[in-house]
């Protein structure tokens, strides 16, 4: 293996992916496993976490274990971290990726005028508070060991732009009318602010913290959304999950050993307009 290939390898590392059974999380868990890491697939649903982990462990013949965690609850987070380290060893990479659409999709997609404070708080509890709780629990241990990489998932709608409301006229996701609510933008903006703080706080302790900012990922949107969104992107299409996972791998690996506090946009050039 050449020296640059070696720096890209995660062989012998332990990685955690929160929201690990979701569309992006599962792809990133596979990318980490494919790069040689032992991976903890962490999700609010233990059934989905175990299923994702089982599929990956059979495909790659590496340790991949599913864990349940409610990232909005400190005790649940601390228990998860303890279980991961007992099962797989000290954590080298954290993909802090879990996000919520609240307890009700109907409430999550309410327009701004009728969006409830209860739903706002449910989303913030996961998207911001949960992001902090997991970073705190894992990052403190990384800092004590003098090494680690934390990658936190944000969004273009929290970093450089607000949603173009024209995209959502007639747009659906798996048959449901959709929009981007205000709490999504606000919470994702908080993610990068947290990244900047943690990056400077832990830099001398050898812990790198970066933000991963995907554009829209093609998953279950209808043709109206796909066409309208793609027409705004310089590359003329939506992202595929594996393209975002590849950027995460760079930030996780020693190839990014002098990269911290940065926001990596994987958006087909949308933020360059």
Gap between the Cα atoms of 26 and 216, Å rounded: 16
Contact 239, 266 (CB under 8 A): yes
- Residue 166 backbone phi and psi in degrees, to 5: -65, -25
Dihedral sign, Cα of residue 233, residue 234, residue 240, residue 242: negative
184 included as an active-site residue = yes
Question: What are the distances in angstroms from CA 16 to CA 41, 68, 229, 230, 239?
Answer: 6, 12, 31, 32, 23
Query: In a 10 Å sphere around its CB, with 0-12 CB exposed, 13-18 middle and 19+ buried, how is residue 230 labelled?
Result: middle
Q: Which two tokens stand for residue 106?
A: 């109907």
Question: Which residue reads 């900047």 in tokens?
Answer: 196
Residue 191 has a CB neighbour count (10 Å cut-off) of 25
Residue 169 has a CB neighbour count (10 Å cut-off) of 11
Gap between the Cα atoms of 71 and 160, Å rounded: 26
Q: Mapping DSSP to helix (H, G, I), strand (E, B) and coil, where does residue 41 land?
A: strand
- Residue 18 backbone phi and psi in degrees, to 5: -85, 155
Rg over alpha carbons for the chain, rounded to the nearest Å, is 18
Q: Mapping DSSP to helix (H, G, I), strand (E, B) and coil, where does residue 160 land?
A: coil
Q: From the candidates 184, 197, 229, 258, which is the catalytic residue?
A: 184
Picking from 197, 190, 193, 198, the residue whose alpha carbon sits closest to that of residue 143 is 198
Residues identified as active-site: 184
């Amino acid at each position: 293996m050449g020296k640059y290939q070696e720096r890209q390898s995660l062989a012998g590392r332990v990685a955690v992916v929160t929201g690990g059974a979701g569309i992006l999380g599962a792809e990133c868990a596979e990318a980490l496993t494919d790069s040689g890491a032992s991976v903890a697939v962490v999700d609010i649903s233990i059934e989905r976490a175990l299923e994702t982990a089982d599929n990956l462990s059979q495909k790659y013949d590496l340790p991949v274990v599913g864990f349940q965690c409610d990232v909005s609850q400190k005790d649940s987070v601390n228990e998860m971290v303890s279980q991961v380290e007992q099962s797989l060893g000290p954590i080298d990479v954290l993909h802090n990726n879990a996000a919520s659409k609240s307890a009700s999709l109907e409430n999550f997609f309410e327009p701004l005028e009728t969006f409830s404070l209860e739903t706002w708080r449910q989303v913030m509890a996961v998207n911001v508070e949960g992001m902090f709780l997991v970073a705190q629990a894992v990052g403190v241990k990384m800092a004590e060991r003098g090494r680690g990489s934390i990658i936190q998932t944000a969004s273009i709608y929290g970093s450089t732009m607000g949603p173009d409301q024209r995209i959502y006229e007639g747009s659906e996701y798996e048959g449901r009318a959709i929009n981007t609510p205000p709490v999504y933008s606000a919470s994702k903006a908080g993610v990068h602010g947290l990244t900047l703080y943690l990056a400077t706080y832990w830099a001398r302790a050898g812990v790198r913290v970066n933000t991963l900012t995907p554009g829209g990922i093609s998953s279950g949107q209808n043709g109206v959304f796909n066409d309208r969104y793609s027409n705004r992107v310089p590359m003329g299409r939506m992202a595929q999950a594996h393209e975002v996972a590849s950027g995460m791998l760079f930030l996780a690996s020693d190839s990014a050993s002098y990269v911290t506090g940065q926001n990596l946009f994987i958006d087909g050039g949308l933020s360059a307009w």
